[in-house]
Amino acid sequence: MSVLTHKLVRDLWRLRGQALAIALVVASGVTTFVIAHSTMRSLSLTQREFYRDSRFADAFASLTRAPRALEMQMAQIDGVDIVETRASGSALIDLAGFDEPVAAQILSLPNPHGGLNRLYLRAGRLPESDREVAVNEAFAEAHQLRPGDRFDLTLRGVQRRVTVTGIALSAEFVYLIRPGDIFPDYKRYGVLWMARKPLEAAEGLDGAFNDVLLRLQPGADVPAVINALDRLLAPYGSAGAIDRSDQLSHRYLSDEIHQWEVQATVLPGIFLGVAAFLLNVVMMRLLKQERSQVAVLKAFGYSASEIAMHYLMLAGVIVLLGSVFGVGVGGWLGAGMSRVYQEFFRYPYLHYVLDLDVAVSGVLVSALAALLGAALAVLRAARLPPAQGMRPEAPPRYRITVFETSRIRRWLSPGARMVVRNLLRQPIKASLTVLGIAFSAAILVVGGLMKDSIDVLLDVQFRQAMRADLTLSFDDVKHERVRHLLAAMPGVHRVEVTRAVPVRLRSGHRSERSAIQGFEPDARLYRLLDSDGNPVPIPRDGLLLTAILAQKLGVAAGDTVEVEVLTGERQIRYVPVVGVTHELIGSGGYMDRSALNRLLNEGDVVTGAFLGVEHSQLPALFTQIKRTPHIVGLMNREVAIRSFTETMAGNILIFAAVMLVLASTIAVGVVYNSMRVTFSERARELASLRVLGYTRTETGVVLLGEIVTLTLIAIPLGWAIGWLLCSLMVAELASDLYRIPLVLAPQTYAYAALVILVTTLLSSLLMTRSIKRLDLVSALKVPQ
């Protein structure tokens, strides 16, 4: 080992506390980098593989009924490679031992020869008869169903007992969520597959189909294909074809992958920036202390580059240790994260991949940060002419700061003046310290966003907007009279019927697929809300749009939109927009039901209902509903809230804990390093104060005054940065599926401040040991 290597090892040991703090910040940065990149890759790699293996379709269309002869015509559309038709329907499941009715989507099996959306069979075999079904895996797990188990199934009002023959997964339902829900509920929503013939029979589709899947040729003009398909299927009640990007499961999955792309840059960026700053501060200090040593080395003939290399190695070792540790932790947490993901994204397999290039780039990026941080200090030292280096450095120049008007000055104690002048002598360093601590507070604020906003989301959606205990949907349009039937059911004290219709809305060149719901004029069980959360009455005429839809269409109250009804005769109407609403989940248009019926040239018909129910009567009501034909969908508000809260509680806790660890690492790193550097710069002054008769506490106040001042400035700044990051995230994540409200509870701000203060306190306690050990005699005996 060369003598410089010896020095390197000993320097590292001497600086171990600070080196550790910096290494941990680097480790946090690399950990977030590795988690984000590896999760993003794992998700998209598995997605690609699963889509390929299961021949996931590129375009989708649903219709009322069309003859299979149409398949040939679809295949002739330019750009279409494979056409697959199928039967699809809604079903209600009655499981023994589970009171509530369970809704399900039922599909015919894909064509065994070259079909699309092929199933991955986890267990058992594919169903063959009209008494056999395969069920999706998440649903099977939720009810512990195995091949051979039986349950009652209601299809088109006919109940039959079916046997589960297989447990399956499909690329179409990687993320399985009932439209309109905010969270998967595997217990109450499932997907079933039945052989084609029996399902056609059950759905009254003999020789016909009501669902289309297309595989497109590479390079196909997707919008053109969709248009051609829509023209072809329009007479058959198609609600409009969509390409893969609008497919529900695919959209959730893509959103999730996109979120990780954002995470992969923002968090590691913050951490590595802080690490670079800390290295800069520590190296500056070290090189100041070793100024004469550097000069002596140079006088003995060491070259500037040898010396620069020596100090860069010091920074390099710290960063290398931190980043290798970070790769390890990141890989470990990433693998754990992928297990959590399997709960939500139901792939048959999830390949967690920590690629070498991700690990290497994590290390390289942090090495770059280290270089940036250390380079300035090292270059300055390496350039210093030896003769100048061996002379003591010129004493620091201070001045009376602009803040100290004679009045303020009188009020400031000498200790306070020391603090103010020291801070203002190095304003950049002070600002960066403030920024570092502020980011730590900001991360804590971001960590609180999920909990705060989800509380509000739940409250807005399930207490302010949705007030129906049960929401029912019917398999087809029904006469309004159905309300009397519903009102007569056990425990039902209020019925509000609704009419929903799929539409395409247009304004100028913009167009959006959506749905219009018709509500009763005095609707109380579902209330539309304005931006302040106040109820918006249903207008007698005209259309209300959710804000996000209005924004996408570029319309506001007073404009008129073109409404293409995507069922029946595909009528086109022009309807004035009379206002916007601000629910947080879903998007669409709302009208008075009678007005909607008139618009559609139809009688007094409905497609669903909101029920207000006596809770004690629920079991009896469920029994009745299970026996009622034509009810195909059911959502129970209380259950939705409960399952949502239960699932989210754990995740929020984990998220908040991770954020706490990350934020604390930064806070400790910045605060502790600042204190150490301040202490080493001021050891002599602190010793002077002790000699003059200042107690340890009084001396400590002078030492800690700087960092405490910076911390107090940093906390509100951190709140502001946190709020800004949250609003960016919220904007980034807003979609027509759901909008996370930008809500931060006062407790979240308080918590962020508290963590920072506690960190400062703990670091201070570490420093008081140093004050205690301060050797008064030797500190004062060396020349200044």
Partner 1 sequence: MPVSEPYPPLPEAPSAEVLLSARGLSKIYDGDVPVQALRGVDLDLRAGEFVVLLGASGSGKSTLLNILGGLETASSGVVRYRDHDLTHADDRALTRYRRDHVGFVFQFYNLIASLTARENVEVVTEIAERPLSPDDALRAVGLDHRLDHFPAQLSGGEQQRVAIARAIAKQPDLLLCDEPTGALDSKTGILVLEALERVNRDLKTLTVVITHNAVIADIADRVLHLSDGRIVGEHRNPTRRAPRDLQW
Residues that bind partner 1 (CB under 8 A): 394-400, 413-414, 417-418, 421-422, 425, 684-685, 687-696, 698, 776-777, 780-784
Q: Given the complex with partner 1, which of 403 and 574 has the nearer CB atom?
A: 403
Q: Given the complex with partner 1, which of 410 and 484 has the nearer CB atom?
A: 410
Smallest distance from partner 1 to CB 705, Å:
12
Nearest Cα residue to 678 out of 493, 508, 464, 425? 425
Report the residue count for the chain. Answer: 784
Q: Given the complex with partner 1, which of 1 and 428 has the nearer CB atom?
A: 428
135's CB contacts (< 8 A; 6+ apart) are 145, 164, 166, 167, 168, 190, 191, 192, 193
3-state secondary structure labels for all residues of 407-458: HHHHHCCHHHHHHHHHHHHCHHHHHHHHHHHHHHHHHHHHHHHHHHHHHHHH
Smallest distance from partner 1 to CB 282, Å:
21
Cα–Cα distance, 82 to 86 (Å, whole number): 13
Q: Given the complex with partner 1, which of 301 and 693 has the nearer CB atom?
A: 693
SS3 of the chain: helix, strand, coil, percent, to 5: 55, 20, 25
292 and 390 in contact (C-beta within 8 Å)?
Answer: yes
Smallest distance from partner 1 to CB 691, Å:
5
Q: Given the complex with partner 1, which of 217 and 695 has the nearer CB atom?
A: 695
Q: Given the complex with partner 1, which of 448 and 705 has the nearer CB atom?
A: 705
Smallest distance from partner 1 to CB 765, Å:
18
Smallest distance from partner 1 to CB 764, Å:
19
Q: Given the complex with partner 1, which of 401 and 567 has the nearer CB atom?
A: 401
Cα–Cα distance, 277 to 677 (Å, whole number): 13
Smallest distance from partner 1 to CB 420, Å:
9
Q: Given the complex with partner 1, which of 35 and 767 has the nearer CB atom?
A: 767
- Cα 685–686–690 angle (5° rounding)? 115
Q: Given the complex with partner 1, which of 419 and 449 has the nearer CB atom?
A: 419
Q: Given the complex with partner 1, which of 3 and 777 has the nearer CB atom?
A: 777
Smallest distance from partner 1 to CB 408, Å:
14
Q: Given the complex with partner 1, which of 421 and 483 has the nearer CB atom?
A: 421
Nearest Cα residue to 516 out of 599, 437, 457, 460? 599
Smallest distance from partner 1 to CB 422, Å:
6
Cα–Cα distance, 235 to 618 (Å, whole number): 42
Cα–Cα distance, 101 to 768 (Å, whole number): 65
Smallest distance from partner 1 to CB 392, Å:
11
3-state secondary structure labels for all residues of 514-566: EEEEEECCCCCCECEECCCCCEECCCCCCEEEEHHHHHHHCCCCCCEEEEEEC
Cα–Cα distance, 686 to 681 (Å, whole number): 10
Tokens representing 628?
């009622």
Q: Given the complex with partner 1, which of 45 and 780 has the nearer CB atom?
A: 780
HSE (side-chain half, CA atoms, 13 Å) at 276: 19
Is residue 418 helix, strand or coil?
helix
Nearest Cα residue to 248 out of 337, 340, 181? 181
Q: Given the complex with partner 1, which of 425 and 483 has the nearer CB atom?
A: 425
653 and 340 in contact (C-beta within 8 Å)?
Answer: no
Smallest distance from partner 1 to CB 419, Å:
9
End-to-end Cα spacing for the chain: 34
Q: Given the complex with partner 1, which of 201 and 390 has the nearer CB atom?
A: 390
Q: At what angle do helices 696-733 and 248-289 cross, to 10 degrees?
A: 150
Smallest distance from partner 1 to CB 381, Å:
22
Residue 108, beta-bridge partner list: 194
Smallest distance from partner 1 to CB 393, Å:
11
Cα–Cα distance, 547 to 579 (Å, whole number): 9
Is residue 155 helix, strand or coil?
strand
Smallest distance from partner 1 to CB 710, Å:
16
Beta strand segments in 431-490, E: 470-479
Could you write out the DSSP letters of every residue in 240-308? --EEGGG-HHHHHHHHHHHHHHHHHHHHHHHHHHHHHHHHHHHHHHHHHHTHHHHHHHHHTT--HHHHH
Smallest distance from partner 1 to CB 293, Å:
20
164 and 149 in contact (C-beta within 8 Å)?
Answer: yes
Smallest distance from partner 1 to CB 287, Å:
19
Is residue 694 helix, strand or coil?
coil
- Cα 333–335–337 angle (5° rounding)? 65
Q: Given the complex with partner 1, which of 113 and 399 has the nearer CB atom?
A: 399
Nearest Cα residue to 611 out of 705, 715, 490, 709? 490
